[in-house]
Structure 1
């Protein structure tokens, strides 16, 4: 608070002698104060006293205040200071004045008159004193002689004093008069200030009232549009929308809370509430009828696309409802209950339509897969189903099957085995399924996204209703042009739809920006498509029952749609992701079934084994899977590893169980085929398995060669085993020939039993036996024969080594040479 100094009447210090921090200021009212200290109180009172002395004519009174506080502070004089040693006297004595020229000449004249003025200062001072006494006496006589003049001077001084008193009285009179004038002027100034404030307040009040009336004024045309507007025509919709905006501006007007208590404001607000309720009721009734009418058009929509594997688009229904988008936002802000009820009506009616369409659509797809539908109508304008006529040596992967000849006895594998899934007709059907599945997913995606985009815009699921006022104010902003309302009522219906439909509804669909959808959007979509996930799962189950291979196509196709989805949080993406989980389980089940089929494989024991059926089928499986799985390679690699490990173990089981074909032959041929398959795949995750297959093949080849070759020169082999035994027992090699059982004569006798003809006959018998064991499908006969040749030559070389070591200089040698052996092996191979 503040006061004018002239309004202060007096200050009460409470007690002039006793120290107290309390004091009172008397204006029109008495204000009691408490200083924080006596020093602060004294400083404040002294300051007030000085200001009043300087500026006020009528000064306030000071009561109970020490007089020392009301005295001028006089700066002490420095004349009495005694200069210290070294001080500058001219600085200390500020009143010192130098002698003038006349005074110097008079002083010199006086000193010249006294000869001893310089030499005898005392006599000079005494002389001066005498002269001063003479002058004082002369002055006294002169004054006494001029007494009359003094009396005249006194009279003049008395007259002057009287005149001064008279002037002072006149001045006091003038001062009192001016004091009255000053008080009157101050009063006039205060009145002028009050008048200025009053006028300013009146102006502000007038402006506030004008602003209030402007904000709460709804024109008659808007009221008429709200009460009697035609919501069935574009022009009427536009007028009602503008009227709703105007009403909303009035309802949301920024008014001071105190003004809301005015009777007129309350009455106007009640009027607006009635208008809002009336228009909301008529708008809700009209939109309710529109929603019900659209939901009842099932027969017409379905009949239009009957027989086509195509989901009916809802462009027309969206187009018809688009002009009401801003009114729906107004309804959401003004009457949330009616808005929620309309939302339920829309979802209830449209869900029936979508449920029927999707069920019929998926049923037609199932009929196509079962061969009962019109396949030529799968995709209008394209011939996607010529693949059903595919025949020859090319499978659905577009590459040769690379399968080799199969024994008829190998076709007795269990029905779930993958060997039954590789025929040309089955491959064509699978490619048909792939096309149908892609068509199903491609048709569902635009329909669901279009409906989701429409619901987001029409029901304003992603907008905050609190910002409705800002949206109304920015209707002309290009950033908000997606409200889809015509800005010019002069547009015709056709012009309006052409101008707004493409730029409004599907422009956002074409955008690559991803939107994070909230739970409200997904909830509404789940109500519009209540059975989509269930129907899609049913389709997946049917397809999986038709052919387990379909799970591979579904896994890849569904994975592509999930990965390429623009809106990762949309209802459709979540639904596809859920279906993808089920498909992944079916795929894992399919792989497990293949493993179980491999484990349960039984091979005929009456015929030679050859390539086991599951090894041959794995080749077909891998050829198809490599092209099918362009994505989700992780799932395929895991399946590969499971199947290969199972095949490894089951090859050994079948080889051990088969009685007609040697165990080593079965393992050799099948590991060789498996190595060839894995090498062709060039899959890094199967590199260890490829190396293991190669190792096992080489081990089995060596084992079979050794076993099959056996002892072609039996007696010779027995003889040299005995020789090696004697050497091992400690007999010197050159002394072995002196023993009776291993003499040179016995050695020559044994060698004569194996002439050239006998050796060749034994080799031919061995070739026929190998040929009987090996299958033509894998074509390893030449490989085994070359391996046998190497082993036989090693035995012969060993016999020659022992002869040279134990029978030196005996001249004994085999009746055939290494070249003869090579020629025999070559002739036998060429003859067959």
Structure 2
């Protein structure tokens, strides 16, 4: 017998390598061929469909439990075994040897846990019967040991299996199970006797064994050899067959009766089949007739439904195309009086809805091609153009008539002795009547609004300019204020001229009143115009008419004067987003609405400047406050107006500053001036008045003026001082001192003036130092010249060598001391007189004299130290003596 692959150690090692890491032990491995239902009716094996596989039985122990597996391994492209499938033997329910394989080498293993029982399980083909029996016997033994039960065996004789096992037991591989002993897992080998017992007890059940013993017990008598026993069985079989044939022959009459009955039944069945065929043909024809009738009925019903729907749709279309006579009359020839406006608005709404109703998606696109729809659309377009033309012409005339009526009535404007605040409540009330008409005109024809806006702006501009002109004229006429001259810093004017300047606060109050009345009015008019003329922009004035957080001066009884009471007509009107195109168009219209009104504001500014130029500061602050409150984009013209006013005020104030600077520069030509210049003392008065006008605003404007004033003042002061070098320092220190004294209080609160105060202080100290040095050297020149020569030589030679230099001997020292210090009190008195001689400000003398004594004492102390170091044996008056002498004078 050829060697079985179950004994191939190389195959076993390859299988172990394929399942390495699974902690399973290979019990048996054998090569097989895999097929799936490959046996045909001819009973020949289709080898071309077989696939080589290896079946391996393995076990795995975990504690007291042992699990057995059936592994299917296949060959990879490189010829290496790799796992393909894994089955647990505890689920093995059936072992069936295929009967259609003549060789008996093909079997099937059935498992009860497979998901798809509809797919035929794989069939395994062995090389020979021995390999088949060996594998099946090993599977059955493992199932018995591990699971304690046997699967169902079909297609194989258990007696044949037992006989094969007895003959080939020595070639059967040992099957081991893991038993957890004290010394560890030990493989128990199945011996020959064990296997025999197993085969007898497992392949034949107890009931089958009893039946076989009873059968054999019947024939135990007189049986000596198997051949005799076989002969006996053949004879009995022949006897039984003869008895069966005899019984069949005896029952022939009965069989004939049965055959006659079957023939009669067959005839009846044939007749019934013929009748059924006839009925089937008739029923088929009937079904075809019924289907034809149903089809015609369905078509008629569908046609009826469609006709009904078409009639309804045509009725709706006709209703949509019908123009009510009352609306047609209003649109083509109705009046625009206030009493008729409700009917006009209703006609507009109907016309708008009718036009939209003929457009997609409200009207099906297929209807648009109908002639009736085209004719009706042309009719509606004609109605729209006629109504828009009539309404536009009426509104243009209406706006002009309203303004002409107000202009012709002088009671609307300011008159002599009476300032009249503009009141447009009645005008707006009358315009508000036609607000919804404008909304509908916009929806009907947006292009028509351009001419209406221009007409409204042109009419209202006349009214606003007339109101502003009359108000400004009466405002100036009713304001009483004495005119202050623009000559503030000129030298020819007396020093106390402006100390009691006239109160001109009424001038700035008048300008503030002009802004208070007209700026809110212009903002309100801009807001009303934007909403009335259907610009899609947000409100310009907060609810309640607030400007800069306060109630506007132009408050009518109707707080929500800009609320036109207009409901949203279409979806576009509800949008609050800003449109740059809309804002540009609005600001262009506002330019037409308010153009020219700025001239009356300019007139007030120029008038106030002529009365008191310094009032430009307060007017600038007032303008800044109003300008900071105009944030709405649609009030662009009002912001431009305020910006122009601010610029004009700044220009006028700059003009005043330039004239004052020119007055300062003219002092340069008067070169014989001495003492404190007039503009130095006057500047403090001017700065004080400017600070009073600031009132927390216009700080930058005033600071720029300060910078320009002081810069020109200091430059002019230095130029005048250069014309008289002998008295230049005295002149400078007096003027810088006067500048500091006059600005002391203001410099503590105004940072810009504090900067110039410190600049003047430094210039004063420098002028004092230079002037005192000149006075000291004029009396003690020899003394300090001698000291300077010594100091110069100390850089090049040693102190011991200096007394031997020409002119620096001890004898020279004694002569110099005698000539300079013999009458030191007299020389000091002369210094005091020189300091006092040209000084015009007596209050500066004490501080200057103290500086002079301190400077002289410091210089003399340095001289005394040099003498003590170079001429230690010589004596001069001590520093203490000199200090006492100076203190006594």
For the aligned pair, the TM-score class normalised by the smaller chain equals 0.5 to 0.7
Q: Are residues 165 and 299 of structure 1, via their aligned partners in 2, closer, same or farther at CA, if it must alter by over 3 Å?
A: same
2:679 corresponding residue in structure 1: 613
2:467 corresponding residue in structure 1: 357
How far is the alpha carbon of 1:639 from its aligned partner? 4.5
1:319 corresponding residue in structure 2: 429
Q: Are residues 691 and 304 of structure 1, via their aligned partners in 2, closer, same or farther at CA, if it must alter by over 3 Å?
A: closer
Q: Are residues 662 and 152 of structure 1, via their aligned partners in 2, closer, same or farther at CA, if it must alter by over 3 Å?
A: same
Q: How many residues align?
A: 667
Secondary structure of 1:306's aligned partner: coil
Matched, 1:290 2:356: no
Structure holding more helix per residue: 1
How far is the alpha carbon of 1:750 from its aligned partner? 6.4
Q: State the distance in 2 between where 1:268 and 1:746 align.
A: 129
1:178 corresponding residue in structure 2: 283
2:198 corresponding residue in structure 1: none
Farther off after superposition, 356-365 or 238-247: 356-365
For the 8 Å contact 1:259–1:265, the answer to whether it is kept is yes
Query: What aligned pairs does 1:213-224 form with structure 2 within 5 A after superposition?
Result: 215-216=320-321, 221-223=326-328
Q: State the distance in 2 between where 1:613 and 1:586 align.
A: 21
Please, which of 219, 241, 250 is the counterpart of residue 354 of structure 2?
A: 250
Q: State the distance in 1 between where 2:730 and 2:473 align.
A: 52
For the 8 Å contact 1:672–1:694, the answer to whether it is kept is yes
**Structure 2: tracts of 5 or more residues without a match:** 1-96, 108-123, 125-131, 141-150, 159-202, 545-555, 567-575
How far is the alpha carbon of 1:733 from its aligned partner? 8.2
2:54 corresponding residue in structure 1: none
For the 8 Å contact 1:701–1:784, the answer to whether it is kept is yes
1:43 corresponding residue in structure 2: none
Deviations 1:489-531 (Å, cap 9, x if unpaired)?
Answer: xxxxxxxx98896472699xxxxx9978701111111112222
Deviations 1:782-815 (Å, cap 9, x if unpaired)?
Answer: 2212212323444555676677667767776489
How far is the alpha carbon of 1:292 from its aligned partner? 1.7
Please, which of 839, 842, 853 is the counterpart of residue 773 of structure 1?
A: 839
For the 8 Å contact 1:543–1:550, the answer to whether it is kept is yes
Specify the structure having the higher radius of gyration (Cα).
2
Farther off after superposition, 240-249 or 323-332: 240-249
Deviations 1:418-441 (Å, cap 9, x if unpaired)?
Answer: x9995644x633x34322322232
For the 8 Å contact 2:620–2:649, the answer to whether it is kept is yes
2:522 corresponding residue in structure 1: 448
Please, which of 700, 703, 706 is the counterpart of residue 770 of structure 2?
A: 703
How far is the alpha carbon of 1:454 from its aligned partner? 1.7
Relative CO higher for 1 or 2, CA cutoff 8 Å, sep ≥ 6? Answer: 1
1:556 corresponding residue in structure 2: 621
Q: State the distance in 2 between where 1:662 and 1:506 align.
A: 82
Q: State the distance in 1 between where 2:864 and 2:583 align.
A: 90
Matched, 1:436 2:510: yes
For the 8 Å contact 1:610–1:666, the answer to whether it is kept is yes
Query: What aligned pairs does 1:383-782 form with structure 2 within 5 A after superposition?
Result: 388=481, 410-411=491-492, 424-425=500-501, 428-429=503-504, 431-462=505-536, 502=561, 504=563, 518-533=583-598, 536=601, 549=614, 551-570=616-635, 571-581=637-647, 583-584=649-650, 591=657, 594-595=660-661, 597-602=663-668, 604-611=670-677, 613=679, 616-617=682-683, 620-621=686-687, 624-625=690-691, 627-628=693-694, 630-631=696-697, 633-658=699-724, 662-675=727-740, 677=743, 680=747, 682-684=749-751, 689-712=756-779, 741-742=811-812, 751-754=821-824, 758=826, 761-762=829-830, 765-766=833-834, 768-769=836-837, 772-775=838-841, 779-782=843-846
Q: Are residues 113 and 525 of structure 1, via their aligned partners in 2, closer, same or farther at CA, if it must alter by over 3 Å?
A: same
Query: What aligned pairs does 1:108-123 form with structure 2 within 5 A after superposition?
Result: 111-115=216-220, 123=228
Deviations 1:265-307 (Å, cap 9, x if unpaired)?
Answer: 4555455445444543443343233112123132325763224
Q: State the distance in 1 between where 2:258 and 2:645 align.
A: 134
Deviations 1:185-219 (Å, cap 9, x if unpaired)?
Answer: 43444445445544543454455345445555565
2:146 corresponding residue in structure 1: none
For the 8 Å contact 2:532–2:564, the answer to whether it is kept is no
Alpha-carbon RMSD: 5.1
Deviations 1:718-765 (Å, cap 9, x if unpaired)?
Answer: 8888998999986668999996854768856865545x5x45753552
Q: State the distance in 2 between where 1:740 and 1:768 align.
A: 37
Structure holding more strand per residue: 2
How far is the alpha carbon of 1:321 from its aligned partner? 0.8
Matched, 1:153 2:153: no
Q: State the distance in 2 between where 1:181 and 1:105 align.
A: 71
Deviations 1:285-341 (Å, cap 9, x if unpaired)?
Answer: 432331121231323257632245556232221111101101111112224454433
How far is the alpha carbon of 1:126 from its aligned partner? 4.0
Q: State the distance in 2 between where 1:585 and 1:562 align.
A: 17
How far is the alpha carbon of 1:597 from its aligned partner? 4.9
Q: State the distance in 1 between where 2:647 and 2:231 align.
A: 140
Q: Are residues 590 and 760 of structure 1, via their aligned partners in 2, closer, same or farther at CA, if it must alter by over 3 Å?
A: closer
Q: State the distance in 2 between where 1:119 and 1:663 align.
A: 173
Q: Are residues 443 and 522 of structure 1, via their aligned partners in 2, closer, same or farther at CA, if it must alter by over 3 Å?
A: same
Q: Are residues 268 and 500 of structure 1, via their aligned partners in 2, closer, same or farther at CA, if it must alter by over 3 Å?
A: farther
Please, which of 441, 452, 469 is the counterpart of residue 342 of structure 1?
A: 452
How far is the alpha carbon of 1:175 from its aligned partner? 2.4
How far is the alpha carbon of 1:139 from its aligned partner? 3.0
Q: Are residues 191 and 102 of structure 1, via their aligned partners in 2, closer, same or farther at CA, if it must alter by over 3 Å?
A: farther
Q: Are residues 689 and 79 of structure 1, via their aligned partners in 2, closer, same or farther at CA, if it must alter by over 3 Å?
A: farther
Q: Are residues 190 and 203 of structure 1, via their aligned partners in 2, closer, same or farther at CA, if it must alter by over 3 Å?
A: same
